[in-house]
Amino acid sequence: MLTLLFLLAAVAATALLTLRAVRHWHAERLGLAYELPVDQRGTALRAAAAGAAALVAVGLTVPLLTASGGAPASTASPAPVAFSPTAVPVPSPPPRTPAPAPPPPEVRTLSHPAGGTLQMLRDGTRVWLPPRYDGQRAAGIAFPVVLVHGDGSADGDLFAGFAKAVRQGRADPFLLVMPDSCDRDSATVLSEVARRYRSLTAVSARGVLGIGPQAPCAVREALANPDRYRAGAGVSGTYPPFAPTTGPHPSLLLAAASGESAPRASARRLRQELHPSGDAVRLLDGVAKRGELMGLVAAYLTEKLDGPARTAAPRAARTPAATATRSPASGPVRNPAPGATRSPAPGAIRTPTPGAARSPAPGATHPPAPPHAATSGPPA
């Protein structure tokens, strides 16, 4: 405390002496106008006294700025702040719950392969709509359905082969339904497709197809569900032994590309195990390109299944596919007058005449043929 008092006195003396030195200097400067002699010794003495007082003030300031132990007081650690035990902490705001993500769309368009539209349903089922499906003249046309089991590696050849066969007039346009697994309940999948798309629901308008490793799945499903499918096909598959069927089963096509010796031998063995009668199990091989093979499969399914048919409005009152007159997707269905015979229009897809047999394609054992190229002979 005493040091602080001396410091204040030294500071005050420094300020006072400095002020007097400035006043003396200013007074001497005013005498120059009257040509009076100037004496600056008073100014110098006062300035010296002010400097001495300033040195004393500095000398007294240093001890005050020095902490115990010689450390500067400014570098000392600040004393911890004591909080009152009765202080209530302010609660932090609760975390905000993020908004739930919107559900995925029920139908999502993936691409447009081979001129058609490939869509995916919410459960992972993919549906390929043929190019004619979205045409203006096909607004009231319902299409046959083929359930396809495959691993996706042959999708390009599958879509291209079916679309090319339609353009060439050798096959009907089909809805291709591809579940994400062979274990899916096909009845549920087909019901969902019928609810969302213009599809024929009769057994005579539904088939099943398996490709590669999934070919046995399709054949097994066709044999186990004769009340669900009219025809089935397996392409490039190797089949395990199947028990001989006791009752009627859907027509089967077992196809293999050129050079696939193991699938061809397996198809022949399966045909012998099933003990087919007539054309119940047909073999097809010797086709080099997979896309052409898929086109022949589309022609075979066209031979066995009902073609596109115009539905009545509302959907609940539509004509059953089994009794509907077949017509191409590009035009209406007209019932001919009794006793009248009409020739098919160029490129039209028509049901073969009962009792007519198909002529085989090159390189196939009982292969599929264009649906309008019928010849006389025993029934298939």
Q: What is the pLDDT of residues 212-260, one digit of tens each?
A: 999 999 999 999 999 999 999 999 999 998 776 677 889 999 999 999 9
Q: Please return the burial class of 279, using the count of CB atoms within 10 Å of its CB with bins 0-12, 13-18 and 19+.
A: middle
Beta strands in 12-131, from DSSP E residues, in sequence order: 107-111, 117-121, 126-129
Within 10 Å of residue 261's Cβ, how many Cβ atoms? 10
DSSP secondary structure, 275-329, as one string:
---TTSEEEEEEE--HHHHHHHHHHHHHHHS---EEPPSSGGGPPPTTTSPP--T
Q: Are 169 and 194 in contact (CB under 8 A)?
A: no
Strongest mean pLDDT among 89-93, 134-138, 230-234: 230-234
- pTM exceeding the 0.75 threshold for the entire prediction: no
Distance CA 380, CA 304 (A): 10
Angle 215-217-218 (CA atoms, 0-180°, nearest 5)? 70
Per-residue model confidence as pLDDT tens digits over 247-300: 788 999 999 999 999 999 999 999 988 877 666 899 998 888 889 999 999 999
Q: Are 327 and 308 in contact (CB under 8 A)?
A: yes
